Amino acid sequence: MNEFDLIEKYFNWKNLNSDMLGVGDDCALISIESQHQLATSVDTLIEGVHFPKDTSAHDVAYKALAVNLSDLAAMGATPLYFTLALTLPNIDEAWLKDFSSSLKTLSKKYNIQLVGGDTTKGALSITINATGILPKTQALLRSSAKVGDIIFVSNIIGDAALAWKQIQNNKTPSSALLKKFNTPEPQVVLGQKLLGIANSCIDISDGLEQDLSHILNQSSVGARINISDIPLSDEVTTYIENTHDWCLPLSGGDDYELCFTVSQDRVAKIEDLGQQLGIPLIAIGIITQEQGIERLGLFDEKCQSYQHF
């Protein structure tokens, strides 16, 4: 099997409507509605850095697309199309079949079309560039949090970080933790519903405090958070009871939940939205004038967040 057979068999899904020209030409072509903006983002996953060496092809594909969908979610964009740059050490058809079918399943779920990519030989790495669309000037930004906004997070956080910690300690995490680590659910619908309600938003990929800090720095504000309000699973709660390691949920990465701020007169809308979507949306603090994060609670250790360099 050569490069072109591989592309044709596994990545030319022939499912595009007439608004798009996809795999097969030098560029993909996309038609877009007027008065709209494209939101575009790229993420690379490298074996041994972003996922352990023995991760299944299914989970690698899922995570590569999910982390990009999570970026679209954080801006409130509706997924539109993506490209895939795939570097493979060799052609392993069983692996490619699982990879391609997992990617296709997730892409169908969020109605995002694979329109092109690049295929090369080398150490396993997956780069996805995902693009979404939204009405002009509506995007949720990091830079528009206001003093007095209530800070929310979706769902629970810390599960993926606990899974990763256990893997590093040669323990097998529970299936619930592994699911959160390997196949995080991007909050695409929530992001779209936050348009016109939230003042600012970010997805929590590198740890709650580090990601919240991006909102704070870009909005020139600070935050006060109640440590005990941070939503945790039973497993993370038990872990913290045993270790007092609050850094795990505060700075552990890979949650792919949304952290967003909302003015106080819109808090009731968030409660309604949480009910409507069946997703817990939990208030953890408030935006303040003084720069930095003030933690209310017993915990005041400095946590080390993930950084590549």
List of residues contacting Mg ion (CB under 5 A): 118
- Name the H helices within the chain: 3-6, 57-75, 93-109, 159-168, 175-182, 188-194, 208-219, 234-243, 247-251, 267-277
**Residue 155 · residue 231 · CB < 8 Å:** yes
Kindly calculate the radius of gyration of the chain based on its CA atoms and give it in whole angstroms: 20
CB 66 within 8 A of CB 186: yes
Q: With beta carbons less than 8 A apart as the criterion, state whether 246 and 293 touch.
A: no
Looking at residue 230, what DSSP letter applies?
S
- The one among 9, 19, 24, 111 contacting ligand ADP by CB under 6 A: 24
Q: Which of 23, 106, 190, 270: binder of ligand ADP (CB under 6 A)?
A: 23
CB closer to Mg ion, 19 vs 118: 118
7 lines the binding site for ligand ADP (CB under 6 A): yes
Q: Does 297 contact ligand ADP by CB under 6 A?
A: no
Question: Smallest gap, in angstroms, from Cβ of residue 15 to ligand ADP?
Answer: 13
> Which does residue 117 touch among Mg ion, ligand ADP, none (CB within 5 to 8 A, set by kind)?
ligand ADP
Q: Which does 24 bind (CB under 5 to 8 A by kind): ligand ADP, Mg ion, none?
A: ligand ADP
Q: Which is nearer to Mg ion, 93 or 118 (CB)?
A: 118
285 binds ligand ADP (CB under 6 A): no
Question: In the structure encoding, which two tokens stand for residue 171, read together?
Answer: 């323990």
CA dist., res. 226 & res. 228, Å (int): 5
For residue 91, the minimal CB distance to ligand ADP (Å) is 12
Query: Residue 82 interacts with ligand ADP (CB under 6 A)?
Result: no
Counting contacts by CB under 6 A, is residue 25 touching ligand ADP?
yes
Interaction between residue 114 and ligand ADP (CB under 6 A): yes
Asked whether the beta carbons of 227 and 293 are under 8 A apart, the reply is no
Handedness of CA 7, 8, 13, 17 (dihedral sign): positive
Find which of ligand ADP, Mg ion, none residue 79 binds, CB within 5 to 8 Å per kind: none
Q: Is 214:286 a contact under the CB 8 Å cutoff?
A: no
Nearest distance, CB of residue 86 and Mg ion, angstroms: 11
If one asks whether residue 305 binds ligand ADP (CB under 6 A), the answer comes out as no
Does 119 contact ligand ADP by CB under 6 A?
yes
Residue 265 interface partner, choices Mg ion, ligand ADP, none, CB cut-off 5-8 Å depending on type: none
Strands 36-46 and 20-21: unpaired
Q: Decide: residue 217, CB within 10 A, 0-12 exposed, 13-18 middle, 19+ buried.
A: middle
Q: Choose the contact partner of 7 out of Mg ion, ligand ADP, none; CB within 5 to 8 A by kind.
A: ligand ADP
Residues that bind ligand ADP in the complex, under the rule CB under 6 A: 7, 11, 23-26, 84, 86, 114, 116-119
